[in-house]
Structure 1
Amino acid sequence: MSSTRFASVLGLGFGDCGKGHFIDVLARRWQAHTVVRFNGGAQAGHNVVTPAEARLPARHHTYSQFGSGTFVPGVRTLLLDPVVVHPTALLVEAGVLGQTGIDDALPRLTIDAMCRVTTPYHQAAGRLRELLRGATAHGTCGVGVGETVRHSLEHPDQVLRYGDFSSSNSANLHAQRDKLSAIRQSIREEFEPLVQAMPVESVTDELAILRDESLPTTWLNHCRALARQCPPASASQIHEQLTRPGCVLFEGAQGVLLDEWRGFHPHTTWSSTTAHAVNHVASRYGVQSDIEHYGVLRSYLTRHGIGPMPTHDATLDAIFPEPHNHAEGWQGQFRRGHPDAVLLRYALESAGALSGLLIGHLDVFERDVKLKWCERYDGLPDAANSCERLPLGEMGDLAHQEKLTEWLYQAQPQYAEEAVTSAAALLERIAGVTDVPVILRSYGPTSTEVVSGEGK
């Protein structure tokens, strides 16, 4: 019997659920030695705030590729394939963490040799593709994760993996440059004809990346520098790290409502953030023990960028401050919505078997806030014209997911007569939807404001 405890933290919304916050909490409570990132890439934005302590001021960091337990001394980050690694962004993030007093982030980082690597060309391609969509944009964070996955599927011979930087001998250096050159050429051939009809100013920056002759040398030097500090890890090394006695936390990126197979196509991510995805990745590295899975919810619904969100309420946008999420950049507007039982049922069914729920932002009720509880949707284009549950389709049936997206755009939320005015009332409504127990409740941004159980 393994003496290692395995647990995952999975978002049950459209992202920005509070996964980073609860990873920080659980890393402290369960004395985790490793936080595993098992999906997504540099588009993650997991905020962690620490309280002021005797010798330390309050600190904040938006975790992108490092695990959200990094503020806890000794906790390691493990990036496992299919995570898409962004080497230069990792170096930048390590520098930012250094400014908060974490000067050993890179020594505590392990990267799977099989992880695909996103390049500046993938990043430019993803942005150009979104610009070309115009009014039918899908939504993007602009860091190239989806484009890296797409390119690897379309051009498997051009896949650049982190293990490619394991050696600096002459033959290996030439192989790295050849792959990078092939990626660049493929992307230029695809996009340069497509963008000719677009306003020059809208594509100048991305085209400049594709045409910069000095970029390959500079970028590869950064990648090699990272690999010298964090050598690519083998499967056996990863197995040894995962099965050390203690606790391992798997930190999901995005949320299940953005999942590539269960999200509302085409407004989805290029990775899966379900219990099944965690189990699959862990089993590849010899983890045979059961994994506890915990779903994360806010007291209200949120969504970054475009895509359907039936209970969006602009008045909530005005009264709920969001100091660490903004509308600048490619990700788009940050929206708030009332709690939605229809989407909650769908998320629970999609996520897989859960051991418990982690609920945050319960302090909103201290501001005398009244939230509405969406019980069902009306106005749907089916015979009943109303529903309390969205049908789960066959895995991989994107046509079904696209149909659900159409439904959500037409959905007319039907709210309960009684408003939700307290944390206790919200917990009662959630208990009416699922018997999955609430394990942790959070009333603020730091680990000291988290309490256990379902108590009122």
Structure 2
Amino acid sequence: MKKAQIVIGLGFGDEGKGITTDFLACQSPDSVVIRFSGGQQAAHTVMIDDRKHVHSSFASGALRGLPSYFTEHCTIHPLFLFNEREELKAKNGNTELHIHPLAKVTTPFDVWKNRTNIKNLEHGTCGKGVGATMKRNESPYKLFAIDLIAPKEMLIEKLKGIAYYYGLMDEDQMDEQMKPFLEAIEQINWKIDDYSYLNSFKNLIFEGSQGVLLDMDHGVFPNVTYAYTTSKNAYEICKLLKIENIEMYYVTRSYATRHGNGWMSNEKEMILRNNEEETCTFNEYQKGLRFGGLDYDLLNYALKLDGAHVEATKKNLVVTCLDQIDEKFKPENLNIDFDTVYGSYSPYSQDFKKFSDA
């Protein structure tokens, strides 16, 4: 019987969705890993022995050798994708990537918009063009993954239209921006496939992007991401594929983090240890990573919120970064009974333990 495993972050992102996805990929190496929200701004770190990779344009099973699939709810940036593909090749990762025809394509002009718009900067943009891409695709100036295999002349005309949409009229400037973008597109063997591609797998691992508290419907506006970061999209795909056996893996750190501006509870300075492998410590656009004590009321809120979007046969909890602070995690403070509670005691998924075994 087909099974789906859905990985969801319960905070503002950076909870440990990458290491959790790698843990599941290690258990089921014949799976496919599916990104169902976000895009190139979702940076998930996986470490296997002496190899480390930050997955953005590929799902977090790639270093372990699993194929990736990006759904229609995701964005892709061809140049970023090409660069990451070359990195994965050098690390002997799996560069097989299938993309839904209606996934949104980020252009250099979307990135420019994200990085120069004052409101975006105030709200905490990653500077990867995702928000601008999603907003633009509500206009007539759309660009989808299927357009990447259309005649080149047609693609160029669509790109020029997007440049005009943003008010860029200088032909030389447009050509300068488009040249490396088009070169990257030509060097990729695009696999554009609808959801029928997923029918060839018995186990599907759905990897969430940012956390539930950044959801575009449920986060504290305007400091949200332009995506549904709950199980909403993943569950709809499961229903489409007639998958009823669904396992949830809810992820939280043993303390709270947030990148960028916006509200967070219990914010305070923290002295951490064993965090040398922290990937996203500083971003030019979001600035430094913020910390805080764990808010169990907020965790309960996030769990109940996501439960409104999915019917699961099994619910698990993953608590990461337990080796970085002395304070003990208290699962008894949560209002949900989990089938299993896992703890992460290092940056390596091989060091996952059940709480009962710790």
Fold shared by both chains (TM-score > 0.5): yes
* Aligned residue runs from structure 1 range 187-336, under 5 A: 187-188=166-167, 211-226=173-188, 229-233=189-193, 235=194, 238-239=195-196, 241-284=197-240, 286-316=241-271, 323-336=278-291
1:158 aligns with 2:141: yes
Task: Report how far residue 453 of structure 1 moved.
Answer: 5.0
Q: Give the match for residue 67 of structure 1.
A: 59
Answer with 5-14 or 64-73: which moved more.
64-73
Q: Which runs of 5+ in 2 are unaligned?
A: none
Write the distance in 1 (CA, Å) between the matches of 2:236 and 2:318. 23
Q: Is the alpha carbon distance of 1:317 and 1:268 closer, same or farther for their aligned partners in structure 2, counting shifts above 3 Å? A: farther
**RMSD of aligned residue pairs (Cα, Å):** 2.4
SS in 1 for 2:61: coil
TM-score (structure 1 length as normaliser): 0.72
* Aligned residue runs from structure 1 range 423-438, under 5 A: 426-431=329-334, 433-438=335-340
* Aligned residue runs from structure 1 range 388-403, under 5 A: none
Q: Percent identity?
A: 29
Q: Which runs of 5+ in 1 are unaligned?
A: 52-57, 193-207, 370-420
SS in 1 for 2:5: strand
Could you tell me which of 110, 119, 138 is aligned with 2:123?
138
Write the distance in 1 (CA, Å) between the matches of 2:70 and 2:171. 27
Q: Is the alpha carbon distance of 1:318 and 1:127 closer, same or farther for their aligned partners in structure 2, counting shifts above 3 Å? A: farther
Task: Report how far residue 173 of structure 1 moved.
Answer: 2.2
Q: Give the match for residue 33 of structure 1.
A: 31
Q: Is the alpha carbon distance of 1:14 and 1:32 closer, same or farther for their aligned partners in structure 2, counting shifts above 3 Å? A: farther
Q: Is the alpha carbon distance of 1:119 and 1:245 closer, same or farther for their aligned partners in structure 2, counting shifts above 3 Å? A: closer
1:181 aligns with 2:169: no
Q: Is the alpha carbon distance of 1:210 and 1:440 closer, same or farther for their aligned partners in structure 2, counting shifts above 3 Å? A: farther
Q: Give the match for residue 85 of structure 1.
A: 76
Query: Is the contact made by 2:35 and 2:74 (CA closer than 8 Å) also made in structure 1?
Result: yes
Aligned residues: 353
Q: Give the match for residue 91 of structure 2.
A: 100
Q: Is the alpha carbon distance of 1:44 and 1:447 closer, same or farther for their aligned partners in structure 2, counting shifts above 3 Å? A: same
Write the distance in 1 (CA, Å) between the matches of 2:172 and 2:5. 41
SS in 1 for 2:324: helix
**Residues 125-168 of structure 1, C-alpha deviation per residue, up to 9 Å, x if partnerless?**
11122x3567xx11110000110010111x2x32111111224x
Task: Report how far residue 428 of structure 1 moved.
Answer: 4.0
Which residue identity is paired with 2:173? R
Which residue identity is paired with 1:144? G
Q: Give the match for residue 43 of structure 2.
A: 45
Which residue identity is paired with 2:136? H
Task: Report how far residue 272 of structure 1 moved.
Answer: 0.6
Write the distance in 1 (CA, Å) between the matches of 2:171 and 2:280. 27
1 or 2 for the larger relative contact order (CA 8 Å, sep ≥6)? 2
Task: Report how far residue 100 of structure 1 moved.
Answer: 2.0
Query: Is the contact made by 2:2 and 2:245 (CA closer than 8 Å) also made in structure 1?
Result: no
Q: Is the alpha carbon distance of 1:43 and 1:83 closer, same or farther for their aligned partners in structure 2, counting shifts above 3 Å? A: same
Q: Give the match for residue 415 of structure 1.
A: none
Which residue identity is paired with 1:92? N
Query: Is the contact made by 1:31 and 1:247 (CA closer than 8 Å) also made in structure 2?
Result: no
Give the number of the structure whose residues are more often helix, by fraction.
1
Query: Is the contact made by 1:67 and 1:251 (CA closer than 8 Å) also made in structure 2?
Result: yes
**Residues 146-198 of structure 1, C-alpha deviation per residue, up to 9 Å, x if partnerless?**
10010111x2x32111111224xxxx222211111111001016xx9xxxxxx
Q: Give the match for residue 111 of structure 1.
A: 99
SS in 2 for 1:441: strand
Which residue identity is paired with 2:17? K
Could you tell me which of 114, 119, 126 is aligned with 1:126?
114
1:359 aligns with 2:303: no
Query: Is the contact made by 1:9 and 1:252 (CA closer than 8 Å) also made in structure 2?
Result: yes
Write the distance in 1 (CA, Å) between the matches of 2:166 and 2:144. 18
Write the distance in 2 (CA, Å) between the matches of 1:332 and 1:437. 38
SS in 2 for 1:339: coil
Write the distance in 2 (CA, Å) between the matches of 1:328 and 1:165. 30
Q: Give the match for residue 297 of structure 2.
A: 342
TM-score (structure 2 length as normaliser): 0.91
Which residue identity is paired with 1:126? N
Task: Report how far residue 218 of structure 1 moved.
Answer: 3.6
**Residues 382-420 of structure 1, C-alpha deviation per residue, up to 9 Å, x if partnerless?**
xxxxxxxxxxxxxxxxxxxxxxxxxxxxxxxxxxxxxxx
Write the distance in 2 (CA, Å) between the matches of 1:323 and 1:72. 20
Q: Give the match for residue 373 of structure 1.
A: none
Task: Report how far residue 430 of structure 1 moved.
Answer: 3.6
Task: Report how far residue 209 of structure 1 moved.
Answer: 11
Which residue identity is paired with 1:95? E
SS in 2 for 1:348: helix
Query: Is the contact made by 2:277 and 2:347 (CA closer than 8 Å) also made in structure 1?
Result: no
Q: Is the alpha carbon distance of 1:271 and 1:70 closer, same or farther for their aligned partners in structure 2, counting shifts above 3 Å? A: same
